[in-house]
Structure 1
Amino acid sequence: MTMQKRWTIKKAEPVAEDELRQALKIHPILCRLLVQRGIRTFDTAREFFRPDINHLHDPWLMKDMDKAVDRIIQAIANEEKILVFGDYDVDGTTAVATTYSFLKKIHSALDFYIPHRYREGYGVSKAGIDFAKENGFSLIISLDCGIKSIDLIRYAAELSIDFVVCDHHLPDDELPPAVAILNPKQKDCNYPYKDLCGCGVGFKLITALAEKLNLPGSWTFEYLDLLATAIAADIVPMTGENRLMAFHGLKKANEKPNNGIKALCQLSNLRLPLHIDGLVFMIAPRVNAAGRMDDAKKAVQLFVTEEYDEAMKFAEMLHSDNSDRKEADSNTTQEALALINENAEWASHKSTVVYQSHWHKGVVGIVASRLIESYYRPTIVLTQSGEYVAGSARSVPGFNLYEAIHACREHLIGYGGHFAAAGMTLEIHQVELFRKKFEEVVAATIDPELLIPELIIDTEINFKDITPNFFSIISQMEPFGPENLRPVFIARSVNDTGFSKVVKDLHLKFSLQQDGCIFSGIGFNMAGKMPLLENKKPVDVVFKLDENEWNGQTTLQLRVIDVRAAV
Structure 2
Amino acid sequence: MNSPYLLKNIDKLVERIVRAIKNNEKIVIYADVDFDGISSTVILYKILLRFTDNVQIKYVERSQGHGSKFIIDQIEDDTDLYIAVDSSSNDVEPLKMLVDKGIDCLVIDHHSVDVENPYCILVNPQQTGCEYPNKNASGGLLVYKVCQVIDDYMDTRYSLELSDLPGFALMADVMCMKEMENRYYAKVSLKGLRHEGLKLLFEAMNSDLKNLTSTDFLYGASPAVTAATRADNIKLAIDFLMCDKATPETKGYVKELIKLNENRKVVQAEALERHKDSIKDEDKVVIVYDSTIGKGLNGLVAQELSKKFNRPAIVLGDGDDENTYAGSFRGLEGFSMLDLLNQCNGVEHTGGHPGAGGLSLKKDNIQVLKDDLNYHLSSFVPDDTLYYDLEFSVDEIDERMINYLTEFYRYSGNNFKPGAFLIKDLFISDKKLMGKTNNTVKIDCGTLQLMKFKTDEEYYDKVPVFTEIEAVGSLNMNVWTQYRPKKKVIKTCQLFIEEYQEVI
Q: Take 1:175 and 1:84, find their aligned partners in 2: how far apart are those partners?
A: 22
Give the TM-score normalised by the residue count of structure 2.
0.83
Q: Which residue of 2 aligns with 1:441?
A: 372
Q: Which residue of 2 aligns with 1:392?
A: 328
Correspondent of 2:261 among 300, 313, 322: 322
Name the CA distance, whole Å, in 2 between partners of 1:467 and 1:312: 36
Does the 8 Å CA contact 1:372/1:378 hold for their aligned counterparts? Answer: yes
Larger Rg: 1
Q: Distance in 2 between matches of 1:566 and 1:268?
A: 35
Q: Tell me by how many angstroms 1:500 deviates.
A: 4.2
Please report how far the alpha carbon of residue 220 of structure 1 lies from its aligned counterpart in structure 2 after TM superposition: 1.3
Which whole-Å deviations, capped at 9, do the CAs of 1:265-312 have from their partners, x for residues lacking one? 465455533433232223222322222222313322222245633334
Conservation of the 8 A alpha-carbon contact between 1:402 and 1:418 = yes
SS where residue 177 of structure 1 aligns? coil
Q: Shift of residue 201 of structure 1? A: 0.2
TM-superposed deviation, 1:483: 3.0
The size of the alignment, in residue pairs, is 482
- Name the counterpart of 1:482: 414
Mapped to 2, the partners of 1:509 and 1:484 lie a distance apart of 28
Specify the SS of the correspondent of 1:118.
helix
| Deviation readout 1:452-499 (Å, 9 max, x if unpaired) | 2344433445667655444433333322222333222345xx4344x4
Aligned twin of 1:203? 144
Q: 1:84-95 residue pairs with structure 2 within 5 A?
A: 84-95=29-40
Matched, 1:302 2:240: yes
1:287 has 2:225 as partner: yes
Partners of 1:508 and 1:530 within 8 A in 2: no
Q: Which amino acid aligns with 1:561?
A: E
AA aligned opposite 1:485: K
Contact map agreement 2:393 2:425 (CA 8 A) in 1: no
Q: Which deviations, in whole Å up to 9, do the C-alpha atoms of 1:536-565 show, x marking residues without a partner? A: 6xx664332211347634244433333457
Matched with 1:26 is none
- 1:234 Cα deviation after fit: 0.8
CA contact (8 A) 1:501 1:530 kept: no
What amino acid does structure 2 have at the position aligned with 1:202? V
Counterpart of 1:362 in structure 2 is 296
Higher RCO by CA contacts (8 Å cutoff, separation 6 or greater): 1
Question: CA RMSD, aligned part only?
Answer: 3.3
Q: Determine helix, strand or coil for the equivalent of 2:261.
A: helix
Distance 2:465 2:369 in 1: 38
1:409 positional shift:
3.2
How far apart are residue 449 of structure 1 and its match?
5.9
Q: Secondary structure at the match of 1:485?
A: coil
- Distance in 2 between the 1:305 and 1:562 partners? 40
Rounded Cα–Cα distance in structure 2 between residues aligned with 1:544 and 1:154: 50
Measure the CA separation in 1 of the matches of 2:394 and 2:471: 11
| Cα distance, 1:533–1:560 mapped onto 2, change above 3 Å | farther
1:558 counterpart = 2:503: no
Quote how far apart the aligned CAs of 1:110 are: 0.6
> Contact conserved, 2:314 with 2:328, CA < 8 A, in 1?
yes
- C-alpha displacement of 1:382: 2.3
**Cα separation, 2, equivalents of 1:299 and 1:495:** 46
SS in 1 for 2:326: strand
Q: Classify 1:529/1:335 alpha carbon distance in 2 versus 1 (closer, same or farther; 3 Å).
A: closer
Query: How many angstroms apart in 2 are the aligned matches of 1:327 and 1:558?
Result: 24
Residue in structure 1 matching 2:56, options 111, 135, 144: 111
C-alpha separation in 1, matches of 2:133 and 2:358: 32
CA distance in 2, matches of 1:73, 1:183: 19
Structure 1 vs Structure 2: percent identity of aligned residues? 26
Cα separation, partners in 2 of 1:427 and 1:164, compared to 1, 3 Å: closer
The match for 2:162 among 207, 213, 223 is 223
Q: Give the CA deviation at 1:205.
A: 0.6
- Please say if 1:380 is aligned against 2:314: yes
Residue 125 of structure 2 corresponds to which residue in structure 1? 184
Aligned counterparts of 1:81 and 1:250: Cα–Cα separation in 2:
35
CA distance in 2 between partners of 1:379 and 1:304 (Å): 35
Map 1:73-222; keep pairs closer than 5 Å: 73-119=18-64, 121-125=65-69, 127-134=70-77, 136-172=78-114, 174-178=115-119, 180-216=121-157, 219-222=158-161
Deviation at 1:228, TM superposition (A): 2.9
The amino acid of 2:168's aligned partner reads T
Q: 1: CA distance between counterparts of 2:289 and 2:120? A: 44
**Contact kept in structure 2, 1:459 and 1:489, CA below 8 Å:** yes
Indicate conservation of the 8 Å contact 2:199/2:209, yes or no.
no
Aligned 8 A contact 2:284 2:380 in 1: no
Which has the larger share of helix?
Answer: 1
CA gap of 1:252–1:178, structure 2 versus 1, over 3 A, is: farther
Alignment-derived partner of residue 404 in structure 2: 473
Q: TM (normalized to structure 1)?
A: 0.75
Give the match for residue 432 of structure 2: 503
Q: Report how far residue 144 of structure 1 moved.
A: 0.7
